[in-house]
Amino acid sequence: MTQAARALLREGDGAGAERLLTAALADRPADACADPEVLHLLGIAAHTQGRPGEAVRWLESAIAAGPDEVAAASLHNDLGNVLLETGAHDRAVAAYEASLALDPDDGPTWTNLATALRLGHDETGAGRAALRAIELDRSSEPAWHAFSLVLQTLASLGRAEDAADLTRRWLAIDPGNPVALHRLAALGEAAVPARASDGYVVTVFDGAATSFDTHIAALGYRAPQLVAAELGRRLGPPNGGLVVADIGCGTGLSGAALRPYAVRLVGCDLSLGMLRQAQLRGCYDALDKAELVRFLQTQHAAYDVVACVDTLCYVGDLGDFTRAVAGALRPGGLLVATVERAAADSGWRLTGSGRYAHSADHVDKACAGAGLVDLTHTEVVLREEGGEPVVGLVWSARRTTMKQ
């Protein structure tokens, strides 16, 4: 009978399962205890029909009916899930803890506990629970998601020390993880690298590739349009006659904006996931999986235009980049790029967001050092983040037509 009820629940027929289970409960001998499995399934049936209060009562009766350890662990976990849905975070935490006391190596329950603790505003406990889930299963997406939500919450609360503590714990179970190392530097707890490591860029953007366009559109992303407008200002209306490189092309949002200028458009990026999306967009003549400076260093005087849109926020000192661009541009060729603007008057810095920001002065010096001339920059809003504008610079400079 319980098998038939389970089958009905799988088919989405909660009412049918409930009829079967209620009849079985009524038919049992007067002196017989209720079967914990029947009570458990009645709880699930009530839950699937939108009656969480009743579901909680059935699940609690099932626990009281003395199931074996395995069933009890599952019951406490299910009880936690229903309680979490009703907003009873503290009771959900207690239910998950009871489940874990019986089955301490169940990763999904640790992830559930992390969610309940975070919603109950115990971010530190939530982070540790999520890390335990990650330790038990490195490939668990829900566990990583729960952990990243905790880090986001800590960031929004300005609790850098707690975030750093969790990040160090993360490194203890996953030594050398490039994202953890980068975050620790962004939190001011490790030396700041000259640019985001290849491992960081690949991990972050491979993970974000399929959702990138939707995510960034929701932030009012407009850097590609701003770069296209800068090209229009410098070169006039597009005539489809230029050889153009899109450096850090991502999914190709920038390529789509550059295409009207290009007779040949080449994209380069470190993330294969992003390049696959760019390929699907169909606006590039060639795509290259390469680190951007290394790529530019192989492209001697090849381009009329080099564009770098919302990518230098993963590079600190711009000196190597501008020198490599100068080598890749034809004489008179144009570099157009965006940076996030640093609050300071000079230099560059790695911000708490994990992205680099640059001063106009640093851009000026990097261009001058590479022999790029005729530099202009304009302050713009690149997108929003947390409801606040992300202020940046759109800048462009030319390779001199004279021999250097």
Chain positions contacting ligand SAM, by CB under 6 A? 195-196, 201, 205, 223-224, 248-250, 253-254, 269-271, 274, 291-292, 309-311, 314
Strands 372-385 and 388-399: antiparallel
Nearer to ligand SAM, 254 or 322 (CB): 254
Tokens of 335: 């570099």
> Containing H/E element for 401?
none
DSSP code at position 290 = S
Minimal distance, residue 329 CB to ligand SAM, in Å: 18
Residue 273 CB, shortest distance to ligand SAM, in Å, is: 8
Q: In the complex with ligand SAM, which residue's Cβ is closer, 73 or 309? A: 309
Residue 218 Cα to chain centre, angstroms: 14
The smaller minimum CB distance to ligand SAM, of residues 95 and 204, is found at: 204
CB of 271 to ligand SAM, least distance (A): 4
Least Cβ distance, residue 216 to ligand SAM (angstroms):
7
Closest residue to ligand SAM using C-beta atoms: 250
Contact at 8 Å (CB) between 301 and 328? yes
Q: How many CB atoms lie within 10 A of CB 18?
A: 21
State how far the alpha carbon of 353 is from the alpha carbons of 1, 199, 340, 365, in Å.
55, 17, 12, 25
| Nearer Cβ to ligand SAM (37/269) | 269
CB atoms inside a 10 Å sphere around CB 15: 12
- Phi/psi of residue 13, nearest 5 degrees: -100, 75
Going 106 to 109 to 115 to 116, the CA torsion angle's sign is negative
**φ, ψ dihedrals at 274, nearest 5°:** -70, -40
CB 377, min distance to ligand SAM, A? 18
Report the distance separating Cα 246 and Cα 278, nearest Å: 11
Name which of 243 and 270 has its Cβ closer to ligand SAM. 270
Place of tokens 């009703």: 86
Q: How far is the CB of 109 from ligand SAM (least distance, A)?
A: 35
Residue 275 CA to residue 246 CA, distance in Å, equals 12
CB of 225 to ligand SAM, least distance (A): 10
Name the residue nearer to ligand SAM (CB basis): 132 or 182.
182
Nearer to ligand SAM, 49 or 378 (CB): 378
